[in-house]
Amino acid sequence: MALVTTKKMFEAAYKNHYAVGAFNVNNMEITQGIMEAIAEEKAPLILQISKGAREYASIGYLKAIIDVAVSENPDIPISMHLDHGDTFELCKQCVDDGFTSVMIDASSKPFDENVKLTKKVVEYAHDHGVVVEAELGQLGGIEEHVQGVDDVSKHLTDPDQVVEFVGKTGCDSLAVACGTSHGAYKFKSASTLAFNVIEDVEKKLPNFPLVMHGSSSVLKEFKDLINKYGGKMPDAMGVPEDAITKASKMAICKVNIDTDLRMALTAKIRQVFAEKPGEFDPRKYLGPGREAIKQMVKHKLNILGCAGKAGECR
């Protein structure tokens, strides 16, 4: 099947209490690892392309890779999504380039400016059959071009603003700030997500899909491998997987995962280089990295509850 929007995915996810995995892609091996996992687990999929990925690989290459993934998996609903678009021009270009979903992130702006920019993107995207994710409240941490805040507790989504925001903008889904953070160094101690924010927003926006960013778990398996083979990530800490599962059973219909992909790939490459220092064939270290991504994604699909759900999302 051709690329699809997230509309049916989110309707099914909300109704049946799971979340769809949204995985960031930068190259062929990452995409292949994700797709192999998705094909085996029969899960719906959102492939995300960030501003940084577009600069690294160019949309032509990335779109061609995704086109192959779609053609080789005709029974899997796949959406191509712009992650953290920061201008109308970027969102417009992605709509024109064939994305089926775009995010406009104006969360750092005052409420009225966020509404104005989001509404402008929504009007253009909807005219072209594309859905829009917006954001209200701010996450912590740093990831690619996204600069978060230092104290996430002071920038959580205000449930009292969500009805007005969605009503004025017409956005199709909303990323909420509920205590998560971008990057590998999300927390200094065990994290506590603001589930009350999710609950309160859900009450005010029944049947409306919410999105959770900054949701990589910084899995110990890969952190230990990276550190064992020369890395220095002793303080890296992510979102506990039981918290992700709990959020996925609420109104969270989309969970973004990027850092865990990077860590899986990096850990295996470091391991190959350490165990085989004479290795120079990229296939011999990118191949194990791709396999690590596959196994990690399969695990995540079950954490999110979307494994086996591809059929109900078509």
Closest to 88 in 3D by CA, of 113, 70, 112:
113
Spatial distance between the Cα atoms of 92 and 97, rounded to a whole number of angstroms: 9
Phi, psi of 87 (to 5 degrees): -140, 160
- The three-state secondary structure class of 123 is helix
Task: Residue 311: count other Cβ atoms within 10 Å of its Cβ.
Answer: 12
Spatial distance between the Cα atoms of 51 and 36, rounded to a whole number of angstroms: 25
Q: Quote the longest CA-to-CA distance of the chain.
A: 60
Spatial distance between the Cα atoms of 197 and 177, rounded to a whole number of angstroms: 8
| Region of residue 170 (left: phi > 0; alpha: psi -120 to 50; beta: else) | left
Q: Check if the beta carbon of residue 237 is closer than 8 Å to that of residue 219.
A: no
Of how many residues is the chain composed?
314
| Region of residue 8 (left: phi > 0; alpha: psi -120 to 50; beta: else) | alpha
Spatial distance between the Cα atoms of 112 and 127, rounded to a whole number of angstroms: 23
Spatial distance between the Cα atoms of 97 and 107, rounded to a whole number of angstroms: 24
Burial class (CB in 10 A: 0-12, 13-18, 19+), 245: middle
Active-site annotation holder among 75, 83, 97, 200:
83
Spatial distance between the Cα atoms of 91 and 94, rounded to a whole number of angstroms: 5
Phi, psi of 56 (to 5 degrees): -75, -45
Spatial distance between the Cα atoms of 231 and 157, rounded to a whole number of angstroms: 35
Residue 258 falls in the annotated catalytic set: no
Catalytic residues: 83
